[in-house]
Amino acid sequence: MTAGHDPTTVLVADDQRAVREGLVTILTTIPGVAVVGSAADGVEALERASELRPDVVLMDLRMPRMDGVEATAAIRASVPGTQVVVLTTYADDESVVAALSAGAAGYLTKDAGREDIARAVVAAASGQSVLDRSVQSVLVEAARSRTAPGPPPDTGLTERELEVLRLMAEGRSNAEIGTLLYIGEATVKTHVNRIFAKTGSRDRAQAVAFAHRNGLTG
């Protein structure tokens, strides 16, 4: 964040008190980030997100009363201006795809360092996605194992939109996609918006999850 900009506000949701307090401590050391609250389960995360309207919720998956996937979907529906970054010990394909499909903008494992967390939080606040490297590998393997032989589903995506979607799945930014495809960034944004509409995705993370589920990344 540059001087003069408002800080990125974050709500931390984790049922383990030591982890929750540790994350709050880490986040308070990151320039341009302000922790506005914490929650001990999914229900409290939804309540506090609705009350505080933070830019980002840093969300655990396995929590009592309401798990992280349910809480993510509920927050994205009721507080659409708030993004969710999952931070969990689980990196199996079902957890990853479920979280991204629920609307998570990022997915990190608890091996992530301070810089990884900072990058994911700031990226999510600006509408970008950050996936842990291990998570990207899980998505690729899940797509390979679940994709049946035969043509990809009829999504209505053009060849150019498929190219853009594949590059999105590689974690490329709009600027990088434009450079690789020799098109302007504004054109990339147009393709991305059309991809969202045709795949029923709310954001890049959901579009990437759609691509992996349907074998469109090869």
Query: In this predicted structure, what is the pLDDT of residue 3?
Result: 47
pLDDT at 213: 77
Half-sphere exposure for 128 (CA within 13 Å, toward CB): 13
Q: What is the pLDDT of residue 140?
A: 55
Alpha-carbon span 121 to 131, nearest angstrom:
11
Query: Residue 74 and residue 46: Cα distance in Å, rounded?
Result: 7
Between CA 79 and CA 65 the distance in angstroms is: 20
Domains and CATH numbers, the chain: 8-138 (3.40.50.2300), 150-213 (1.10.10.10)
Please tell me the distance from the alpha carbon of residue 199 to that of residue 211, in angstroms, as a whole number. Answer: 9
Segment 66-94 mean pLDDT: 87
Whether 113 has a pLDDT exceeding 80, the answer reads yes
Over the stretch 121-170, which tens digit does the pLDDT of each residue have? 998 888 887 777 766 665 655 555 554 444 455 678 888 888 898 888 87
Amino acid at 23: L
| E strand intervals along the chain | 8-13, 33-39, 56-59, 83-88, 106-109, 130-131
CA distance 210 to 204: 10
3-state SS, residue 195: helix
Lowest mean pLDDT among 5-9, 34-38, 115-119, 137-141: 137-141
**Mean per-residue pLDDT over the chain, rounded:** 83
